[in-house]
Structure 1
Amino acid sequence: MPTEKRIAIIAHDGKKAEMVAFVKDHSALFQNTKLVATGTTGQYVEQTGLKVKRLLSGPKGGDAQIASLVAEGKILAVLFFRDPLGKHPHEPDVQMLMRLCDLHNVPLATNPSAARLMVKGLEAEVANNKVTK
């Protein structure tokens, strides 16, 4: 039976344009799945015409909210384009999210190359009706 899970989308400020380009390149998948994003990233993704459930901005608790959804089994996969060279005041929340993805076996892609590979698998899941819109 299909499960109603969302794909989570997060991007640090310096990676938001890259995330928007990625989402546009793979719009067929994202049009057929439910999306959740941190606040500002969600605003950017909505500009592509996709419907996104926006949570708080990452530094204001959005990463922690997505981590909670991961722990509750409500997230299919996480696309998190991180800036590995930047300093982020909410780094503990980022680490918690990554740990919970590992703990709950939720795929996590932190760069476009990993995300492209993940999308191929997700497209197969959607095609086999294992994921609902």
Structure 2
Amino acid sequence: MNISLIAHDKKKNDLIEFVKRYKNVFEKHKLFATGTTGKRIQEEIGLDVYRFLSGPLGGDQQIGGRIAEGNMDLIIFLRDPLTSQPHEPDVAALIRVCDVHHVPIATNLGSAEVFLKALK
């Protein structure tokens, strides 16, 4: 499966810990991520990750393009619901394209956990 990993700044540590916990599952799949998130996964966990631009610079849109092309199977996007994001329209567009193309998207640790347990 092609899995994209995205996290807002205040959720990056949560995503890193989540990926560590499920490293044995993630290493069986092709991983993609936005810039800083991907860099941290590579450096801190040692998994191969194809990195797009950072979210605010267009990374969310690049992943959205892959979804529209049918090249993404699962998105884990840990959003920070308590902080205003300057690129919120891009976030909304990413969620919309997931809905249009029936690609599952986890936007919090609870839903991400359910998806990863299903992949085990």
TM-score range, shorter chain: over 0.9
Q: Percent identity?
A: 50
Number of residue pairs matched by the alignment: 119
Equivalent residue number for residue 78 of structure 2: 81
**SS of corresponding position for 1:94:** helix
Amino acid at match of 1:65: Q
Superposition pairs of residues 1-133 of structure 1, within 5 angstroms = 5-46=1-42, 47-123=44-120
Compute the displacement of 1:120 (Å): 1.8
d(CA) in 1 for partners of 2:38, 2:111? 20
Q: Which runs of 4+ in 1 moved over 4 A?
A: none
Report the AA paired with residue 54 of structure 2: S
TM-score, length-scaled by structure 2: 0.96
* Rounded Cα–Cα distance in structure 1 between residues aligned with 2:24 and 2:4: 16
Unaligned runs of 5+ in 2: none
CA distance in 1, matches of 2:34, 2:111: 20
Q: RMSD across aligned C-alpha pairs, in angstroms?
A: 0.8
CA positional deviation for 1:57: 0.2
Q: Which has the higher contact order (CA 8 A, sep 6+)?
A: 1
Which structure would you say has the larger Rg? Answer: 1
CA distance in 1, matches of 2:119, 2:105: 12
Deviation at 1:121, TM superposition (A): 2.0
Gaps of 5+ in 1: 124-133
Supply the AA of the counterpart residue of 1:30. F
What's the TM-score once normalised by structure 1's chain length?
0.87
